[in-house]
Structure 1
């Protein structure tokens, strides 16, 4: 069963919030067929710890603005700022320092999962 509409809406909102804070290499993956614990992964990179934190803050702010407010159930890695995981139940957002993104290669690990198309609205105009 593919990701729920709510999960896709949340993921695309999170992806746009990350893009607005200049995140790199944003990927949205439907992992619902492979994981029972969540529907969608949002992956984003940043070149430094400060930007990782700015992206995390923007994602949280954007998701709490949705009609059905979403707050993270769990947050990990915030202190180090190199890989922050935000668990919103329906989606999990991974914001990684570029080096961690390359080393852990979550994109390759989950390559069998369908990608959900995300287009940064700043590129549409």
Structure 2
């Protein structure tokens, strides 16, 4: 009695898109939804949680949620499944974690209060020269 070996063909998964490719999809989604005041922050070397943060405003809680949903939809188009989406119920601040890129969609008053852009860019600008007084 002879046994035959079964050949199983496997395919290597597609390589993960680069952070820049993810950013491109994020910006396309933001443009599609007419999100306001998008700021992209390069956090490489400051944290290991992501390479980029994108902070953007929505005009209402419904708009904030819709913008976040569109970011998820566009990310999935390029093969990126979100690691998590937080804050959808209240929709004043929705965080979409795409791994190398984290997107914060916020109401303007919430964005102003938390000032993430300031928090993540402190020390990036060279100090003003005080000798020119």
**Residue ranges of structure 2 left out of the alignment (5+ in a row):** 1-16, 125-133
Q: Give distance in 1, aligned partners of 2:94 and 2:63.
A: 11
Offset at 1:88?
1.2
Offset at 1:12?
2.5
Segments ≥4 residues shifted beyond 3 Å: none
State which of 75, 93, 105 in structure 1 corresponds to 2:85.
75
TM-score (normalised: structure 1)? 0.80
Which residue in the other structure is 2:116 paired with? 106
More relative contact order, 1 or 2 (CA 8 Å, 6+ apart): 1
Which residue in the other structure is 1:36 paired with? 48
Q: CA RMSD in A?
A: 1.6
TM-score (normalised: structure 2)? 0.76
Question: Across the two proteins, how many residue pairs are aligned to each other?
Answer: 108
**Residue ranges of structure 1 left out of the alignment (5+ in a row):** 115-125
Offset at 1:32?
1.2
Q: Give distance in 1, aligned partners of 2:25 and 2:121.
A: 22
